[in-house]
């Protein structure tokens, strides 16, 4: 089958690699660098599992920035373009999705669009009505940053949202399910066929719950830190309750990355008519967490004016090079705003500085120069200097 993937980001590439095992996959992206990388057999993003997949090969994949070539012959178009949170509109910006669907309708109206970009609840239906084009399915993705390919190959569930319960739409949804599940070679995956609005809600409520859970354990940690108690001991005791469990309970500087913040803000805005109190305040709790930790860094700086503060990795999660919405970057900027500078160890950055802070990309030199090392997540590379590491990572995992 001929499949086109619109967008060569983490979601798009993971889907392209999955589907390229059994189908002819064409990736469409406006970034010529990404197109050139893909056509030369290289990953356009820094992600170890994706890079390993390109080295291993075994899939059919090429790329273009020509939408007519990209969408003209496809049976299915996977839409995986960015939907950032627009602070002016106070909502997710679905304009890139609309542009792709509009082009598909113009070039190949027989194709079905599987939208995997996160959207506001009701967007898919409104888009269908606006463009008079109903060959749309909303198929949310549930990928962890830094583990997108792993989660695509071993999905927790597959949700397919339909606009209408008519025979043609149901058949297309079943074909889409077969398309996405067939390369998994019999792995058990829970499959749900729902309304498009329900699928959109499943995505947003899932991420809001994860954000809430991160914020909850961070507030627990803030209390323990302020009262001289062991956060690990408290979390362990709390998590022994099987209704709570051990997932997403490791404290951090605050949730970041591409999805949790923007999706939680979108859902919080959506719930205003319901007079909801919990979800709209999750992001406020996350900001308060960062402010609390920043105050401790500023106090250290004030008490140790000659000491050097170092930031070990700026990315949101281990295995990711994404700095967008990174809580560690927010701490760094907060320090800078108060006149403090730092040194940074971040291999994904090139050059001599980042926002006025010196880059030291020799790890041993960085560890020697830094008197205090700020690390959202720590690993074996910081063995030997743990005594000068400031972290809230009690389990040494994401």
Q: Which residues are catalytic?
A: 259
Rounded distance between C-alpha atoms, residue 264 and residue 208, angstroms: 5
Beta bridge partners of 2: 24
Rounded distance between C-alpha atoms, residue 77 and residue 19, angstroms: 12
Rounded distance between C-alpha atoms, residue 79 and residue 379, angstroms: 36
**Cβ within 8 Å of residue 277, ≥6 positions away:** none
CB 163 within 8 A of CB 169: yes
Look at the block and give the residue holding tokens 């970057």: 329
Q: Count other Cβ atoms within 10 Å, centred on residue 271.
A: 17
CB 137 within 8 A of CB 128: no
Rounded distance between C-alpha atoms, residue 80 and residue 8, angstroms: 8
Burial 326-341 (b: 16+ CB within 10 A, else e): bbbbbbbebbeeeebe
Give which of 109, 176, 168, 175 is closest to 140, Cα–Cα: 176
Q: CA torsion, points 215, 334, 329, 116, in degrees to nearest 10?
A: 50
CB 24 within 8 A of CB 1: yes
CB 152 within 8 A of CB 144: no
Burial class (CB in 10 A: 0-12, 13-18, 19+), 181: middle
CB 258 within 8 A of CB 324: yes
Task: Compute the C-alpha angle 362/363/366, nearest 5°.
Answer: 85
């Amino acid at each position: 089958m001929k499949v086109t993937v619109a967008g060569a980001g983490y979601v798009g590439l993971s889907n392209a690699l999955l589907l390229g095992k059994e189908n002819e996959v064409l990736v469409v992206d406006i970034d010529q660098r990404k197109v050139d990388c893909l056509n030369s057999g290289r990953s356009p993003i820094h992600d170890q599992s994706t890079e390993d997949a390109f080295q291993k090969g075994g899939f059919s994949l090429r790329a273009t920035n020509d939408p007519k070539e990209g969408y003209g012959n496809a049976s299915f178009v996977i839409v995986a373009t960015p939907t950032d949170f627009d602070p002016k509109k106070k909502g997710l910006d679905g304009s890139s999705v609309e542009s792709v669907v509009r082009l598909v309708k113009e070039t190949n109206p027989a194709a079905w669009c599987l939208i995997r970009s996160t959207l506001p609840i009701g967007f898919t239906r409104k888009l269908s009505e606006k463009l008079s084009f109903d060959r749309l399915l909303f198929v949310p993705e549930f990928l962890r940053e830094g583990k997108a390919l792993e989660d695509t190959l071993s999905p927790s569930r597959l949700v397919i949202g339909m606009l209408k319960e008519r025979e043609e739409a149901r058949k297309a949804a079943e074909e889409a399910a077969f398309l996405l599940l067939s390369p998994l070679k019999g792995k058990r995956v829970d499959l749900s066929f729902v309304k498009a609005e329900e699928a959109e809600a499943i995505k947003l409520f899932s991420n809001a719950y994860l954000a809430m859970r991160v914020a909850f354990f961070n507030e627990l940690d803030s209390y323990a830190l302020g009262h001289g108690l062991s956060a690990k001991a408290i979390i362990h005791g709390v998590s022994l309750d099987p209704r709570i469990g051990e997932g997403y309970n490791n404290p951090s500087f605050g949730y970041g990355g591409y999805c949790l913040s923007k999706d939680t803000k979108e859902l919080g805005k959506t719930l205003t008519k319901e007079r909801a109190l919990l979800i709209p305040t999750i992001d406020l709790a996350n900001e308060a967490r960062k402010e609390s930790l920043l105050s401790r860094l500023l106090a250290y700086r004030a008490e140790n004016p000659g000491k050097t503060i170092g930031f070990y990795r700026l990315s949101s999660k281990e295995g990711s090079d994404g700095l967008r919405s990174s809580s560690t970057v927010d701490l760094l900027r907060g320090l800078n705003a108060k006149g403090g500078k730092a040194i940074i160890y971040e291999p994904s950055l090139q050059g001599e500085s980042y926002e006025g802070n010196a880059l030291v990309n020799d790890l041993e030199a960085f560890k020697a120069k830094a008197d205090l090392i700020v690390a959202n997540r720590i690993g074996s590379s910081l063995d030997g200097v743990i005594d000068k590491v400031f972290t809230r990572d009690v389990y040494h995992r994401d």
